[in-house]
Amino acid sequence: MAARLLGALAVVGLVGLPPLLPKYALEVLITILFFGYLGACWNILGGYGGQFSFGHAAFFGIGAYTSTLLLLHWGLSPWLGMVAGGGLACAFGLLAGYLSFRYGLRGPYFSLVTLAFAEMLRVVAVNWKAVGSSLGLVVPSRGSAPGMFVFAEKLPYYYVILTMALGAAWVTRAIERSRMGYALAAVRENEDAAEAAGVDALSTKLAAMAVSSFLTALGGTFYAQYFAYIDPSLTFGPAISIGGLLPAIVGGAGTVAGPLLGSFVLTPISELTRAVLRGRGGADIMLYGLVLILVISFLPNGLVGWLRSRRAPPGGAA
Amino acid sequence: MTWLFFQAVVSGLLLGGVYGLVASGLSLIFGVLRIINFAHGAVMMLAMYTSYWLFVLLGVDPYLSILVTAPLFFALGVVIQRVIIEPNRAAAEHNQLLLTLGVALFLENLALVLWQGDFRTLRVSYSGASFMVGDVLVEVPRLIAAGGAVLVGLGLWGFLRTTDVGKAIRALSEEPEGARLVGIDVARIRGVAFGIGSACVAVAGALITPFFYVAPDVGESFNIMAFVVVVLGGMGNFLGALAGGFIVGLAESLGAAFLPGSLKQLVVFGLFVIVLLFRPEGLFGVRRGR
């Protein structure tokens, strides 16, 4: 009950406070929600399904490039391009997922193959002139055109990413409580046993892949519109794959609040280090590495898992 | 065209030898610990910086620096394994994999903080040395690197076959439970394996510093290449990794010769995905992939 109250309070704060915040704080909040959102998307497949993708940048990049190219060539609003990108990423995810799962790739093998898929797309984007090659693409962003996903102020972007993050959390919760959620958990805990119990592991994992890849692509479009520039290594590079995975792991994989909570802890650490150690590039990611090691060593189930185990009576089944 | 082909074959084989050594270290670690070590490339990068600074500050030849870096990075590997990974042996497999990712992020960015992102190159007297075989140019440092890598790799293979520690390592990678039951100190052997794997990659790093740039992210591409090689050679298969190195080196170099831009990487990744999907036990393996 307390958790639910706290959650409701947090949502009220996230909706009500930002108009009062200075610009820098708002930017940090946008970054927090952005990585929290990516974490939530990754979490559906990685956390609930136990399929550790190291290549979610593939979907992110497809989303960013699809909406941006549709905008540049045909003037299509990124709001629509976003959906197109999601669809394309979903199709790619289903193809990659089908190939990997069909041939029984599990554990580290699945991580490696997803990494390879993302890297392949990055190499293609680097070498393909029509998509801007390594120079990347500039997204027209002057003035204010809400219908074209362009805002003059930061605040509207904030509400967009807040809606996306809460939406992803809502989808996660809905999956968690559905038949699919139980099937996913069964596959994660023991795939062979799940199959024996009548769970169709292949379609369960593919369903999670479809949702996860679709949502991740929407994040790509948000990135393109917010930063008004994309290039192959920014969008298809390993940093995005890791950027989504980290908050989910640190916050608690396989929990609704985990990824957002993880990002609320990780992102400010990184922003603070960057501000304090100006000109010393890398210190923030270095600290990320340290936090990752410490969290896995001492809170193997993430922050949410730790909070739960503290509430559970000692010795009792948590 | 034939000239280009033969030149590409020679360059590919020479770089392939280095890939083989990097990958056999990774494969050894995988065989014993059953985890993919994402920090392997970062260890290599750190070793390259060590060789670089030993030359710049003390004038130590990069090949001689191996006498320092091999034991140093053996020790670092043992420490990483015993302090960070071993306490989490009971944790889920992916958590251990993430630990190595954490180590990689930490080391890579430590280098970025300490030495910035500049590409550094080391000029030794023999950096430009080369000779011709027919129309094909052979660069001496690359030849030494490939030859040295293969020698070290084969030496290690001999070590694994003949010594008690080597046998314990092989026992552990083939039958972990059995190895424990016959009284092998498995925790110690896991540390030693991680140490040897790290020493391998440190030697590889030293061997390439006379002709390769040093930068904080230099290990990343080698790491991904080593993943490809290890999967190709069969995870945990030491000799397979050495052989796989040549295949990947060739694929990359032929791709570079006949494809525009950096599409050569597509050849390597394509090979990777195909092997992962259709032969996850590797080209030479018989053991079923999990």
Kindly state the average pLDDT of the residues A71-81: 94
- 3-state class (DSSP) for residue A153: coil
Is residue A79 classed as helix, strand or coil in its secondary structure?
helix
Closest partner residue to B277 among A99, A123, A280, by Cβ?
A: A99
pLDDT digits (tens, 9 = 90+) for B193-251: 999 999 999 999 999 999 999 999 898 888 888 888 988 888 778 888 888 999 999 99
Of A112-126, A137-151, B195-209, which range is least confident?
A137-151
CA B117 to chain centre: 22
Mean pLDDT for the stretch of residues A233-238: 91
Task: Report the chain A residue with the minimal C-alpha distance to residue B95.
Answer: A296
A133, A290, A292 member nearest B98 (Cβ)? A292
The alpha carbon of residue A113 and the mean position of all alpha carbons in its chain are separated, in whole angstroms, by: 19
Which range is least confidently modeled, A88-92, A137-141, B92-96? B92-96
Residue A6 identity? L
Scanning every residue of chain B, which has its alpha carbon at the shortest distance from the alpha carbon of A101?
A: B277
The band of A8, judged by pLDDT with boundaries at 50, 70 and 90, is confident
Distance CA A138, CA B17 (A): 42
| Confidence band of A276 (pLDDT split at 50, 70, 90) | confident
The reported pLDDT for the residue numbered B275 is: 85
Mean pLDDT of chain B: 88
DSSP three-state, residue B148: helix
Residue A207 to residue A214: CA distance in whole angstroms: 11
Identify the pLDDT of residue A294: 92
pLDDT of A11 higher than 90 = no
Contact B112 A281 (CB under 8 A): yes
How do residues B32-85 score in pLDDT, each as one tens digit? 888 889 999 999 999 999 999 999 999 899 999 999 999 999 999 999 999 999
- Strand A229-230 with B130-133, pairing: unpaired
pLDDT at residue B282 is higher than 80: no
Q: Rounded CA gap, A208 and A97, in Å?
A: 10
A293·B93 Cβ contact <8 A: no
Q: Quickly state the pLDDT bin for A259 (edges 50, 70, 90).
A: very high
For residues A224, A229, A235 and A236, what is the CA-based torsion angle, rounded to 10 degrees?
Answer: 130
Chain A contact set for B103 (CB, 8 A): 289, 293
Which ranges constitute the DSSP H helices of chain A? Answer: 2-16, 23-43, 57-74, 78-102, 107-127, 154-177, 179-189, 191-196, 201-227, 232-236, 238-251, 258-276, 283-298, 302-311
Structure confidence at residue B96 (pLDDT): 87
Q: Is the pLDDT of residue B276 over 90?
A: no
Once rounded to an integer, what is the mean pLDDT over residues A18-22?
A: 88
Confidence check: pLDDT of A175 > 80 = yes
Quick one: closest CA in A to B108, which residue?
A: A286
Segment A56-71, tens digit of pLDDT? 999 999 999 999 999 9
Q: Which residues of B touch A285 (CB under 8 A)?
A: 105, 108-109, 112
Cα–Cα distance measured from residue B215 to residue B204, given in angstroms and rounded to the nearest whole number = 15
Q: Do A123 and B278 touch (CB under 8 A)?
A: no
- For residue B130, the SS3 value is strand
Chain A 91-150, residues with CB within 8 Å of chain B CB atoms: 99-100, 103-109, 111-113, 115-117, 119-120, 123-124, 126-127, 133
Model's pTM, two decimal places? Answer: 0.90
pLDDT tens digit sequence for B7-40: 999 999 999 999 999 999 999 998 888 888 999 9
| Closest CA of chain A from B107, distance in Å | 7
Which tokens belong to A232?
């192959």
Where residue B234 falls (left for φ over 0; alpha for ψ -120 to 50; beta otherwise) is: left
* Residue A284: per-residue pLDDT: 83
Distance CA B32, CA B189 (A): 8
> Average per-residue pLDDT in chain A?
90
CB B34 within 8 A of CB B20: no
Is B280 in contact with A280 (Cβ distance < 8 A)?
Answer: no
| A177 alpha carbon, distance to own chain's centre | 21
Query: B42 with B101: CB under 8 angstroms?
Result: no
- Asked if B41 and B219 count as a contact pair (C-beta separation under 8 A), the reply is yes
Nearest to A199, CA basis, from A210, A209, A189: A189
With CA atoms as reference, report the closest residue to A38 among A300, A206, A289, A246. A246
- Comparing CB atoms, the residue among A133, A286, A291 nearest residue B109 is A286
CA distances from B216 to A46, B15, B48, B50 (A): 29, 20, 10, 12
ipTM over 0.95 threshold: no
